[in-house]
Amino acid sequence: GKKTTEEALFGWIVSDFGLNDAIESGLVKTPRVVVRDDGIKNAATYKSKLYHIYDEISDNINRPAKPHETLPDLLIAAYNILSIDWLETFKSWTKAKIQVPPVMISVVNRTETAARIKHAFDTNTIMTKELCDPTKTLHIDSKVLKETEEDILELDDQAPDEDSSEKDQESYLRRQVNTVGQIGKPGEQVRHIISVNMLSEGWDAKTVTHILGLRAFSSQLLCEQVVGRGLRRTSYELNKDGLLEPEYVNVFGVPFSFLPHEGGDVGGGLRPTPPKTRIEPSRDKVQFEMHWPNVLRIDHKLDYSLELDINDLPELEIKATEMPTEAELAPVIEGKPDLGQISEIDLKKLITAPRMQTLIFKFATHLLPQIEDEQKWKGGKHQLFADLVAIVERVLKSDKIRVSPKVKNDDPEQRNLYLRLNMDRIVRHVAKGIINQNAQGYEILYNTNEPIRYTRDAGVWFTSKPHYPGKKSHINFCVYDSTWEEQASRLLDKLDYIEAWVKNDHIGFEISYLFNGAVKTYLPDFLIRFKGGKHLVLEIKGVETEQDREKWAYLSEWCKAVTASKRYGVWVYDVALDPNNIEDILHKHGKN
């Protein structure tokens, strides 16, 4: 710049000193990653579910959602554990008379997820109230992050008033982001930053102590970029031994590793790629085209007062092992976690279990928008909330919600803690019970951009899997994943009372359902149209699980609602648990 002389040092020095070396030498903070927790590990990786949270809840956070929609219980648990550790750091900094607070950053996948996280903190869904102050939380997205440096330099530190333009407010927000942890600047007292996508490379906050990542992290480079936002040290003063005191940043949800990636055999040559078949709608079979409504959500028409018969409410088991309450973190040294330097965060030791009356009010508050907004409640809000408080109190005090093992259920404090940690799952369970017992009819919310889907709109894809050229299917080949599906495909072509069918593969027929507090997507196996217009959604399944039964309950409701709309004909569903039953199921629905 103009003020820089030849003798002056640059503000930045570029060096090939590796990040691994920088961590080992203490030049930057040492990241600590989750190596263990007290919950069940991921079945595929055998790692803690807190290590890469996104993989566990991706169905829930990759969809359009309103800000008030409750976050998945696993994410709430992660924030509770991480925020309690943040609070311990905050207290120690305050005791040491450090003027700025430690900072947590959340790097998330999309705008809707960021809004839900902001709402969860603003409404004290997270247990650490010191981190739930809206005035000390920054919610930024990629649009704000694209502000130019020229715009930033023209700003002053004065906060805009309510009448300021949107551009001025966004510019001030960016100014806060750029001055996090700087005394006397707009970002001095920021405690939490919720960012969609990435904070910029030039961001130089030194007070980041906790990071939660909530995105796919498809490469180690992305992981290193996110973790790198928290590696700048707060102090470079040497201790009495002439060394830098160690500083740490605790990381949840970023599958971070410095281990080098080894390639394949050198000089081994490329293996020949097996030939692949092109799968697409066939122009020669348009008479077998199928269509269906593209349903986003099914609402229920409810009466003006709600009741819930506890005896008719299914039991819900809360397994303590499915919800982590403590985590063990290890610093990354020499490219891998050093298990000899484990530090522990234990939620049970650091918080007080909530009282029952607090739980009742909190649960009723979170249940309110699910009934009022999502189910198009027509009555008064005060009456609705009073009904919900009464219902929630009866449910929570009953044996319909059971914590296992029994020793935790019998301890009031531990039971209340696990009820609080599983709030999303319990609220949805109660909401489902209320709707089932009080629904007077259905209201279908369609995707306005594409209210009806057609097989002709299926995209082209390629596969090397076995396939069958279905005669009555609009798609040129049926790609099957099992011999049962192949048998069903051939049978569907033979039966004369079947007019058309299609394997539900890359055609876009989806059913959203809830399981264990997370919204998931269900893809049934076949869509079948009989002569006369009746439709059958057929699932072929070898082993029935609790999750399958939940899927089929939502599919049953979908069929009832679509049929009741009287716009798309009659829709039914069925499940074949034995290949010998397929023809009987088809005969039952096609001949009757």
How far is residue 296's CA from residue 530's CA, in Å, rounded to a whole number? 26
**Model pTM score:** 0.74
**Percentage above 90 pLDDT, the chain:** 47
- DSSP code string of 80-113: HHHHHHHHHHHHHHHHTT-SS--EEEEEES-HHH
Q: Which CATH number describes the domain made up of 19-252? A: 3.40.50.300
Task: Provide φ and ψ at 404, rounded to 5°.
Answer: -120, 145
**Are residues 430 and 395 in contact, defined by beta-carbon separation less than 8 angstroms?**
yes
The CATH class of 277-294+447-591 is: alpha beta
- Alpha carbon distance 503, 480 (integer Å): 8
Largest CA distance in the chain: 92
Distance CA 477, CA 107 (A): 42
Burial degree of 563 (CB within 10 A; 0-12, 13-18, 19+)? middle
Taking residues 249-254, what's their average pLDDT?
93
- Name residue 396's amino acid: L
Above 70 in pLDDT, residue 275? yes
Q: Over the stretch 478-498, which tens digit does the pLDDT of each residue have?
A: 999 888 999 999 999 999 999
Domain residue ranges of the chain, discontinuous segments joined by +: 19-252, 277-294+447-591, 302-324+354-442
Band (pLDDT 50/70/90 cuts) for residue 266 is: very low
Residues 549-578 have a mean pLDDT of: 94
Task: Grade residue 149 by pLDDT with cuts at 50, 70 and 90.
Answer: very low
Round to whole Å and give the CA distance between 462 and 177.
45
d(CA 19, CA 131): 30
pLDDT at 425 over 80: yes
* Whether the domain at 19-252 and the domain at 277-294+447-591 fall into the same CATH topology: no
Distance (Å, rounded) from C-alpha 111 to C-alpha 88?
Answer: 30
- Contact between residue 294 and residue 447 where contact means Cβ atoms under 8 Å apart: yes
Share of the chain above pLDDT 70, in %: 87
Rounded to whole angstroms, the Cα distance separating 128 from 420 reads: 13
Rounded (to 5) percent helix, strand, coil in the chain: 35, 20, 40
Contacts for 202 with CB less than 8 Å, ≥ 6 apart? none
5-9, 55-59, 583-587: the lowest-pLDDT one: 5-9
**DSSP secondary structure letters along 257-311:** --PPPP-S-TT--PPPPPP-EEE-B-GGGGGG--EEE-EEEEEEEE-SS----GG
Instruction: Please tell me the distance from the alpha carbon of residue 190 to that of residue 133, in angstroms, as a whole number.
Output: 10
